[in-house]
Chain A
Amino acid sequence: MNVIQCRDVTKSYGQNKALDRLSFEIGENKITGFIGRNGAGKTTLLKMIAGYIKPTQGELQVFSRKPFNNLDVSAKTIFIDDNMTFPDSFRLTDILSEVASFYAAWNSNLAIALFNYFSFDPNQAHSNLSKGSKSTFNSIIGIASRCPLTILDEPTTGMDSAVRKDFYKALLKDYLEHPRTILLSSHLLSELEEILEDILLIDNGSKCLHLPVMELRELAVGIRGNEQALLTFVEGKELIYKEEFAKGSLYVVIKKELIEQEFKHVRQNGLEVLPISTDDLCVYLTGKTGGGIDDVFKRG
């Protein structure tokens, strides 16, 4: 069963298209990472799934219903981001108990255990929390709500690396015991790729890739070596990325399937095969036309 079905969805703000003819499906109980650069449209898409905004064109269904303004979808969905605000008259523990009454599967024991583990002060006001603590607190709500669709938009903003690790671990552990559909967004894939099953890579409001993370890891390789030899080797093949890193030397990123047959000959040609991190690959895949930041400086 698909929890989310998105067909040709476009979201325009005036002339500007935040999302452009996006189509994908997300199956039940999968953890999917929404990856893209700043401004790629991740948040717009997640808010649309959560029912905050409606598509300009196309059809979006969540739990087989249009999510916008839908109370049933809202009851099964929680959307966590760092813009969440709570009344100043509530202390942190009040927030946990007040929000609890809205979500059928809310687990108070888990919420309180996490709250204590991250050593929050029960009497503090939410608006006084630091950026990282706010993210941590909001994430506790996200995990403890156990919503069939849990959406976490850049949940680790401001968290230090120890808390990040704990958070991802907590999320995964609770997911293993209580499977649910989880959407996580981040511009940094490396920190969360281990817990993901699928990844949806968004570039400029359009879908770039939607595949299991394991396949992404084996999608492409980097090859480095003499410019002439390398260019002959990859001739006529589509390159994901190309960079001149020293005089006469070239570095290219290419899909593995394109060079499967010739793979044995790479080393014989004096070329070097390098693994490529998924983070770098995502950057290259969503890169603007050719070149990198180095080109900016070369012109001078």
Chain B
Amino acid sequence: MMSLKEVDLLSISSKQYVYKLKAYSTLFYGLLLAQIIALFFSLLNGISYMSSGNGELSVSVNTYSASLVIIFSFFWILFAAIQLTTKQYKQLENPLVTNSISRNLSNIGFLMTACVFGGITSSLVGVLLRIIMYFTFDRSQIISDEFILAFSDLLLGISVAILYMVLISGIGYLTGVLTKVSMAFVIIIPAVIIGISKAYTDIFQSLIKFFTLESSLPLFGLKVIITSILLFGVSILISNREEVSQ
């Protein structure tokens, strides 16, 4: 009757991962909705508008960009990562076989899937924006060298978007875990970030440049992966001793 076989952490974590993929499917609909809204805004106004004239001749230029879609996706993954650490989401696991490590592993697995999904869709929505513009505007008025996207560029865009989302999810997850330890972190974290950015401008900027100015994809990937492992690792360590609240 009683199985003496020890339970395998990885098999339990992967069961939880599958459970969460099905359970949190609504989060993905939320992403698609955010992307469509972003697309709508992009089409409506463009990112910037420039107009000049001297009475006889007037020029007006609209710049369209898919960056709003990416930004919305980044906010979504930040929100999703924080959500996973909330009481409401943790409670969903109570009826299952679980411990702190399996919970964190399955959460990380879920977030990685969300990043891949988010990275791909946000890049594809960018392509969609170009296609819509191509058919709705007078083609002669489109000035862009990069209008037609090379497939390799699309892949690069997807990879970079995914990596940024991984990084953001790590930051969001750690933030969520810290706020569970103490609500004070809700104030401390933004205060520290703003504080550093004002007082130690060089450090803060070099930190940003560390990621943004990296021109080699493999190196950028390596930086992101190592940073994320640190972020998630610290999250696991912090949440390991925490009790399950109801």
What residues make up the interface of A, taking CB atoms closer than 8 Å to B? 47, 51-54, 68-72, 74-76, 78-79, 83-90, 94, 98-99, 101-105, 141, 148, 178-180
- Chain B 102-129, CB within 8 Å of chain A: the 1/0 string? 1000000000000000000000000000
Closest to B240 in A: A69
CB distance from B119 to the nearest CB of A (A): 23
Q: What are the residues of chain A within 8 A of B97 when measuring CB–CB?
A: 71, 74-75, 102-103
A175 to B177: give the CA distance in the assembly, Å. Answer: 41
What residues make up the interface of B, taking CB atoms closer than 8 Å to A? 1-3, 6-7, 9, 12, 15, 19, 22-26, 88, 91-92, 94-102, 240-241, 243-244, 246
CB distance from B33 to the nearest CB of A (A): 16
CB distance from B234 to the nearest CB of A (A): 18
* Contact status A87-B92, CB under 8 Å: yes
- Our pick among A54, A69, A71, A178 for the contact of B12 (Cβ within 8 Å) is A71
Contacts A51-B99, A90-B23 known; 13 new A-B pairs at CB < 8 A: A52-B94, A53-B243, A70-B99, A71-B101, A74-B97, A79-B94, A84-B94, A87-B92, A88-B26, A89-B23, A102-B15, A104-B3, A105-B1
Q: What are the residues of chain A within 8 A of B3 when measuring CB–CB?
A: 76, 104-105
* Contact status B244-A52, CB under 8 Å: yes
Given A89-B22, A148-B2 in contact, is the A71-B7 Cβ separation under 8 Å?
yes
* Contact status A99-B9, CB under 8 Å: no
* Contact status B95-A99, CB under 8 Å: yes
* Contact status B25-A99, CB under 8 Å: no
* Contact status A72-B7, CB under 8 Å: yes
Q: What are the residues of chain B within 8 A of A78 when measuring CB–CB?
A: 95
Q: What are the residues of chain A within 8 A of B26 when measuring CB–CB?
A: 88-89
A178 to B95: give the CA distance in the assembly, Å. Answer: 21
CB distance from B94 to the nearest CB of A (A): 6
A-B contact pairs, 30 of them (CB 8 A): A47-B246, A52-B246, A54-B243, A69-B101, A69-B240, A71-B98, A72-B6, A75-B97, A76-B2, A79-B94, A83-B246, A84-B95, A86-B92, A87-B22, A87-B23, A87-B24, A87-B92, A89-B22, A89-B24, A90-B23, A94-B22, A98-B22, A99-B95, A101-B15, A102-B96, A103-B97, A104-B3, A105-B1, A105-B3, A148-B1
Pick the most buried of A71, A78, A98, A148: most chain B CB atoms within 10 A of its CB: A71
Q: What are the residues of chain B within 8 A of A105 when measuring CB–CB?
A: 1, 3
* Contact status B91-A53, CB under 8 Å: no
* Contact status A53-B244, CB under 8 Å: yes
Closest 9 CB pairs of A and B: A87-B23, A52-B244, A75-B7, A53-B243, A102-B97, A71-B99, A75-B97, A69-B99, A74-B97
A111 to B246: give the CA distance in the assembly, Å. Answer: 26
* Contact status B2-A52, CB under 8 Å: no
A83 to B244: give the CA distance in the assembly, Å. Answer: 13
Q: What are the residues of chain B within 8 A of A104 when measuring CB–CB?
A: 3
Q: What are the residues of chain A within 8 A of B244 when measuring CB–CB?
A: 47, 52-53
A69 to B241: give the CA distance in the assembly, Å. Answer: 8
Q: What are the residues of chain A within 8 A of B23 when measuring CB–CB?
A: 87, 89-90
A90 to B2: give the CA distance in the assembly, Å. Answer: 30
Closest to B93 in A: A85
Q: What are the residues of chain B within 8 A of A99 when measuring CB–CB?
A: 95-96
* Contact status B1-A83, CB under 8 Å: no
* Contact status A69-B100, CB under 8 Å: yes
Closest to A83 in B: B246
Q: What are the residues of chain A within 8 A of B98 when measuring CB–CB?
A: 71, 74
* Contact status A83-B91, CB under 8 Å: yes
A75 to B3: give the CA distance in the assembly, Å. Answer: 10
A47 to B240: give the CA distance in the assembly, Å. Answer: 17
* Contact status B1-A178, CB under 8 Å: yes
Pick the most buried of B6, B94, B98, B100: most chain A CB atoms within 10 A of its CB: B94
* Contact status A85-B92, CB under 8 Å: yes
CB distance from A153 to the nearest CB of B (A): 10
CB distance from A138 to the nearest CB of B (A): 8
Q: What are the residues of chain A within 8 A of B25 when measuring CB–CB?
A: 89
A83 to B92: give the CA distance in the assembly, Å. Answer: 10
Q: What are the residues of chain A within 8 A of B6 when measuring CB–CB?
A: 72
A54 to B101: give the CA distance in the assembly, Å. Answer: 16
Q: What are the residues of chain A within 8 A of B94 when measuring CB–CB?
A: 52, 79, 83-85
